Amino acid sequence: MAEAAPSRPAVPTYTFEVVAATQAAGTRAKRFRGGIQNPYSRLPDWLYPTSIVVVFSLFIIYSGLVVLFETTGRFGPYLSPFFSPEVNVRLAGFLIPPALWVAWAPLTFRVTCYYYRKAYFRSFLLHPRSCAATDPEKRDYRGETRLWVFNNLHRFAFYATALQTLILIYDAVIAFTYQGAFHFGLGNVIMLVNVACLLGYTYGCHAWRHLVGGSTDCFSCHKARFRLWKGVTVLNANHALWAWVSMFTVWFTDIYIRLGAHGVLGGAAWL
Amino acid sequence: MAVRSEVAEPVDDVPLHLREAEATGRSVTLKVWRGDPTGGELVSYEVPAQEGMVILDAVLWIQAHVDADLAVRWNCKAAKCGSCSAEINGFPRLMCKSRLDSFQGDITVTPMHTFPVIRDLVTDVSWNYEVNKQIPPFSPSEEDLKDPEPWRMQQEDVQRLTEFRKCIECFLCQDVCHVLRNHEQKDQYYGPRFMIRTATLEMHPKDSLDRRPMLKHKAGLGMCNITKCCYEVCPEHINITDNAIIPLKERVADEYFDPVRWAARKLTGDKRGRRPVRGMEDAPDQR
């Protein structure tokens, strides 16, 4: 520490650009080199990004294998969410993987989702790894511009996914009939839970919240939109939770139906 | 690291609870960054501890007993003035809202990293005030200005803005924002605090300006990648990301990234009826 305190420099007339330049001139306190103690979490700051990388990577690998190499998602009355709606197109005698016609919509929806953006920017790209973490200082960060500007297409992915969610409701209802008779099995419960979670995730989306009421400046002038906005806000408050839960229900539903389709589960009526 | 534990004669105006703290015999070690723009270091202080003490109490005890020249900016000690922002064990927090007993072991107190140090725990946050000047203020329409009656706003319209008006300008969100903190891009992004301010204006039913051109270009809204650290550190618990930044991003998408809305505007006209703010398109390439 300096023995004598230096005299305060004269304060110049600042402009936005001048101040921005001086702020970057290396006059800041050195970074804290100890472990950053986030008062709102007792978990180590590497845990969140690591978990995201592991779980997302496993899901992406699983989804890729299913979409590219599986030709059916049907087990009795049940239809996998990866294959709904069923589209079978043959090109020169070869079946185009049916899930390709479907998977792009939820994939784009999740990639551009405001929650998933946080998750993958923090974990895969380390922007930042954790709040206040001592990441490398780089000036070439471009945020959601240039390549990542496609995130602004989130609303279009929402339109497609919202439609697909309605089709999944139809699938869940129609699965109660099999070979002309009423059917009830574990698969019905799994499909219903999956649809409920997907509805919670899809219709709690920020783009939907904006569309139903957030875009207006005057709630009192649009009472119906305001009520809708309040309802969506309830779901939106837990959007991250819905995102995680619905990802796992989609995953689990497909695994269940796939195991059944491959004969692993046998043919018991309660399935 | 320097260590200073010698205790000077206590001054008469030491608050009673701090005198009681001295009597308990318990103490904590506070490592406080002391320095100026030319450099500095962490200095250790032994501070008597008492239940209920906050970090600011401890820093003020140091100022009163050991180093009278320790520079710290504070005012209300009630988490309402936003003056005592610092980094405690590396995390941006208000010193007056951080209890000593919520930490274990030595406690490190450093100035906000994002802003240049003036001295000790005091940083130069003037950049924020310059940014504030860039934002066109509340601008009612000519029609509303001529209205002789007092304006009436409904509760639901007020409530939406009230959340943003809770901001105490502590600048912790600016400090933690990695665009400003890690990437030093103050020339390209206004930061979360000013997204809040812009949202307050943009969502005001009586405001007549369209600040979306400013948001996309000069304000650099696209630089935010929704990592929500600003929300995590906000002492007023303002949902900065979900209620301000994301709605603003959606509004910018309405204007610039939605061909369906563009076509609808061309066919039916812009129903928002706001006057766009011009002259804000000259920022570096942030498209």
For a pLDDT cut of 90, what percent of chain B falls above it? 71
DSSP A168-217: HHHHHHHTTEETTEE---HHHHHHHHHHHHHHHHHTT-HHHHIIIIIT-S
Q: Which ranges of chain B does DSSP label H, i.e. alpha helix?
A: 16-24, 55-65, 126-134, 142-146, 155-165, 172-176, 178-181, 192-202, 212-216, 229-233, 240, 246-256, 259-268
Residue scoring higher pLDDT (B185 or A198): A198
Q: Give the pLDDT of residue A1.
A: 42
pLDDT in tens, A231-259: 999 999 999 999 999 999 999 999 999 99
CATH value at residue B16: 3.10.20.30
Tell me the pLDDT band of B285, cut-offs 50, 70 and 90.
Answer: very low
B40 forms beta bridges with B35
Classify burial at A30, counting beta carbons within 10 Å of its beta carbon; exposed 0-12, middle 13-18, buried 19 or more: middle
| Contact status of B181 with chain A (Cβ, < 8 Å) | yes
pTM for the whole thing? 0.87
Task: Please tell me which of the candidates B34, B113, B183 has its beta carbon nearest to residue A139.
Answer: B183
Do B148 and B260 reside in the same domain of the chain?
yes
* Burial annotation B207-233 (CB, 10 A radius, 16+ → b, else e): bbbbbbbbbbbbbbbbbbbbbbbbbbb
Mean pLDDT rounded to a whole number for chain B: 88
Q: Give the pLDDT of residue A12.
A: 42
Do B183 and B270 reside in the same domain of the chain?
yes
Do B46 and B155 reside in the same domain of the chain?
no
Q: Long-range contacts made by residues A147-151, C-beta under 8 angstroms, separation at least 24?
A: A148/B225, A149/B222, A149/B257, A149/B287, A150/A112, A151/A111, A151/A112, A151/A117
Q: Give the pLDDT of residue B287.
A: 33
Residue scoring higher pLDDT (A183 or A10): A183
B192-202 and B246-256 are packed helices; what angle lies between their axes, rounded to 10 degrees? Answer: 60
Contact B130 A15 (CB under 8 A): yes
d(CA A212, CA A228): 6
Residue B43 amino acid letter: V
Before A128, cis peptide (omega within 30)? yes
The answer on pLDDT for A117 being more than 90 is yes
pLDDT in tens, A62-112: 999 999 999 989 999 999 999 999 999 999 889 999 999 999 999 999 999
| Chain centroid to CA B68 | 28
Task: Please tell me which of the candidates A21, A25, A143 has its beta carbon nearest to residue B222.
Answer: A143
Do B77 and B184 reside in the same domain of the chain?
no
Q: Give the pLDDT of residue B260.
A: 86
Do B86 and B61 reside in the same domain of the chain?
yes
Average pLDDT over residues A164-187: 95
For a pLDDT cut of 90, what percent of chain A falls above it? 69
Residues on chain B touching A40 (C-beta within 8 angstroms): 232
Do B114 and B36 reside in the same domain of the chain?
yes
Average pLDDT over residues B107-114: 93
Domain annotation covers residue B282: no
Do B265 and B136 reside in the same domain of the chain?
yes
Q: Give the pLDDT of residue B184.
A: 87
Q: Which residue is it, tokens 């690591």?
A: A50
Let me know: does B192 contact B230? Beta carbons within 8 Å. yes
Let me know: does B170 contact B235? Beta carbons within 8 Å. yes
pLDDT in tens, B227-250: 999 999 999 999 999 999 999 999
Q: Give the pLDDT of residue A106.
A: 96
Residue scoring higher pLDDT (B238 or B183): B238
Average pLDDT over residues A9-16: 45
Instruction: Pick the residue from chain B with its C-alpha nearest to A36.
Output: B90
Nearest residue to A115 (alpha-carbon basis) of A251, A232, A215, A237: A237
Task: Please tell me which of the candidates A23, A118, A220 has its beta carbon nearest to residue B157.
Answer: A220
Looking at the 3D structure of chain B, how many domains does it have?
2
Q: Give the pLDDT of residue B265.
A: 81
Average pLDDT over residues B253-277: 81
| Contact status of A48 with chain B (Cβ, < 8 Å) | no
Average pLDDT over residues B212-228: 94
d(CA A2, CA B255): 54
CA distance B25 to chain A (A): 26
Q: Which domain holds residue B106?
A: 2-123
**Which of A:113-152 have CB within 8 Å of B?**
114, 117-118, 121-122, 127-128, 131-132, 134-139, 141-146, 148-149, 152
Q: How many other β-carbons are positioned within 10 Å of the β-carbon of residue B167? A: 21
Per-domain residue ranges of chain A: 42-135+142-261
Do B189 and B96 reside in the same domain of the chain?
no
Residues on chain B touching A23 (C-beta within 8 angstroms): 114-116, 124, 127, 184, 186
First-to-last alpha carbon distance for chain A, in angstroms, is 74
Q: Give the pLDDT of residue A137.
A: 63
For a pLDDT cut of 70, what percent of chain A falls above it? 82
Q: What are phi and psi of B133, to 5 degrees?
A: -65, -20
Within A14-75, strands assigned E span 74-75
Do B175 and B233 reside in the same domain of the chain?
yes
Q: Give the pLDDT of residue A38.
A: 64
* Burial annotation A82-104 (CB, 10 A radius, 16+ → b, else e): bbbebeeeeeeeeeebbbebbbe
The answer on pLDDT for B269 being more than 80 is no
Residue B72 CB partners (closer than 8 Å, separation 6+): B56, B59, B60, B63, B84, B95, B120, B121, B122
Do B139 and B69 reside in the same domain of the chain?
no
Q: Give the pLDDT of residue A89.
A: 93
Residue A170 amino acid letter: Y
Indicate left, alpha or beta for A76 from its phi (over 0: left) and psi (-120 to 50: alpha).
left
Let me know: does A246 contact A201? Beta carbons within 8 Å. yes
A79 forms beta bridges with A74
Mean pLDDT rounded to a whole number for chain A: 87
User: What is the 8-class DSSP label of residue B149?
Assistant: S
Residue scoring higher pLDDT (A42 or B157): B157
Distances, alpha carbon B119 to alpha carbons B34, B123, B158, in Å: 7, 7, 40
Q: Give the pLDDT of residue A2.
A: 43
Can you tell me the ipTM of this complex?
A: 0.86
Before A77, cis peptide (omega within 30)? no
CATH value at residue B156: 1.10.1060.10
Nearest residue to A214 (alpha-carbon basis) of A195, A228, A200, A199: A228
d(CA B198, CA B245): 9
Do B105 and B34 reside in the same domain of the chain?
yes
Window from A7-16, A110-119, A204-213, B125-134 with minimum mean pLDDT: A7-16
Q: Long-range contacts made by residues A145-153, C-beta under 8 angstroms, separation at least 24?
A: A145/B222, A145/B223, A145/B285, A145/B286, A145/B287, A146/B287, A148/B225, A149/B222, A149/B257, A149/B287, A150/A112, A151/A111, A151/A112, A151/A117, A152/A112, A152/B249, A152/B252, A152/B253, A152/B256, A152/B257, A153/A108, A153/A112, A153/B257
Task: Please tell me which of the candidates B87, B134, B202 has its beta carbon nearest to residue A16.
Answer: B134
The answer on pLDDT for A18 being more than 80 is no
Q: Which tokens in the block code for residue B173?
A: 């969100």
The answer on pLDDT for B17 being more than 80 is no
Do B155 and B220 reside in the same domain of the chain?
yes
Q: How many other β-carbons are positioned within 10 Å of the β-carbon of residue B55? A: 27
Q: What are phi and psi of A14, to 5 degrees?
A: -85, 145
Q: Give the pLDDT of residue A96.
A: 93
Tell me the pLDDT band of B286, cut-offs 50, 70 and 90.
Answer: very low
Of B123, B156, B185, which closes a domain? B123
Q: Give the pLDDT of residue A34.
A: 57
pLDDT in tens, B20-65: 656 566 889 999 999 998 888 999 999 999 889 999 999 999 999 9
